[in-house]
Structure 1
């Protein structure tokens, strides 16, 4: 089985849906009264939107960050979201915790598949 990953031209859909969904997550998931979790979602949304807008890709507005670096930032953001899920103010709120776990898994998966998709065709990963 070959994993082809996410093509650069399709990654934009993940980026520009992730940021607004993370920003709206406290309201959508019902933890808007949890100020630390709400503010942390805002930071994650703002950072994801910022480095998306600064990526060297068709969708980037200010083309500063190479696409592969962007994918690594997605992975790092996913890892940080999983760490954030363990913070006391987030861990104690089931809805917030589960949202941050979902954010973390999303970042890890999308970032990893984007790195794989950025590789040359002959370098597919076989499982």
Structure 2
């Protein structure tokens, strides 16, 4: 069995579901009054939206960033979200910490699987 990863054409579903979920996370998970966590969610969501719109892929509006760079940014975003989950203002707020852990794992998984698929082409 050969593992194919996430093809570029399907990656769009991960991107455009991640953005609204991360924007809504402070309300959905119950940490909207934790301003640092809420602002960081906005930053993660807006940065993902920005580089998604600028990717050389079917869904990109401005074709500036190669898809492999986009997938690498997803991976880096995952690493950063995992690190943010350990910042004291986030770590002491369990819903916020768990949200950033989930964001981090999502970034690691989606980024890695997308890079696997990109390297096959």
Under a length normalisation based on structure 2, what TM-score does the superposition of the two structures give? 0.98
- Report the CA distance between 1:3 and its aligned residue: 1.6
Poorly superposed stretches of 4+, deviation over 3 Å: none
Give the Cα–Cα distance (whole angstroms) in 2 for the partners of residues 82 and 120 of structure 1. 28
Q: Provide the aligned length of Structure 1 versus Structure 2.
A: 121
Question: How do residues 15-54 of structure 1 correspond to structure 2 at under 5 angstroms?
Answer: 15-54=15-54
The CA deviation string for residues 47-67 of structure 1, in whole angstroms up to 9 with x for no partner, is: 000000000001000000000
How large is the RMSD of aligned CA atoms in angstroms?
0.8
C-alpha distance in 2, partners of 1:28/1:64? Answer: 33
1:89 and 2:89 matched? yes
Query: Which residue pairs with 1:124 in the alignment?
Result: none
Rg larger for = 1
**What secondary structure, in the 3-state scheme, does the structure 1 residue paired with 2:20 have?**
helix
For 1:120 and 1:49, locate their aligned partners in 2 and report how far apart those are by CA, in whole Å: 25
Measure the CA separation in 1 of the matches of 2:120 and 2:28. 39
Instruction: Give distance in 2, aligned partners of 1:97 and 1:120.
Output: 35
User: Partner of 1:6 in structure 2?
Assistant: 6
Q: Tell me, which stretches of 5 or more residues in structure 2 are unaligned?
A: none
